[in-house]
Amino acid sequence: MSRPRIGLTTYYKEAAWGVWRREAAVVPGVYVEAVAAAGGAPLLLPPVGLDPAVLDVLDALVLVGGADVDAAQYAAAPHPSTAPEPVRDAPELALARAALEREVPLLAICRGVQVLNVALGGTLEQHLPDRLGHTAYQPSPGVFGEVTFRTEPGSRIAAVLGAEAASPCYHHQGIDRVADGLVVTARSADGVVQALEPADHAGWAIGVQFHPEENPADRRLFRALVHQAATGEERPTG
């Protein structure tokens, strides 16, 4: 049986290989490994030239993490700490909308859940430490934190992860106003939104603020995505 084709959005940044240092479309290997370990065939999607028509050849989509969404995308002035990667914004926002419209299974991670929220008209809190008074979600550059959260009964994420779970995290922004058409399905004890899903339960889509790809011991979200892509059916819990 062939592996379902899982599209992964990518960064577009200067990268180094061999004697070269040039602009490149890259994605952290942990995303690729997570999709492959869950039974999917990962396909990388560079933001340059990316068009929603690519969904025609995909069985599911992962919107990966990365730089902040440009505040202009939700009509806000940028916070001094906001560091966007504008080349990704327009194609990923269009891709998120199209995936929901076409009911292509979608897992949106960290930046990805923020893209999902902004794509449908929501807004972002640009620097959580200003409100929370701590940097636990991004302890220091390149160091992941850990978040524990509770899920909403009856939600897709609850079906996959149970009533409570924990995950690595790395972000300084978060969901502010939730877009019409989305509902909060997980929060941490400090009130930060940790998951969003479509309110109408149409299609299969979960957006998470944390980084499940960074926990190789827990592939449940990736297995659920790949199972949905392969069968069109909800994966049993666990």
Marked catalytic residue, from 92, 172, 197, 211 = 211
Nearby residues of 185 by Cβ (< 8 Å), 6 or more positions away: 151, 152, 155, 156, 157, 158, 195, 196, 197, 206
Nearest Cα neighbor of 167 from 191, 151, 183, 184 is 151
Q: Verify whether residue 110 is a known catalytic residue.
A: yes
Nearest Cα neighbor of 208 from 105, 74, 135, 111 is 111
Marked catalytic residue, from 92, 197, 213, 214 = 213
Marked catalytic residue, from 92, 110, 171, 214 = 110
CA distance 132 to 27: 30
**Inter-residue contact 45 to 64 (CB < 8 Å):** no
Catalytic residue numbers?
Answer: 110, 211, 213
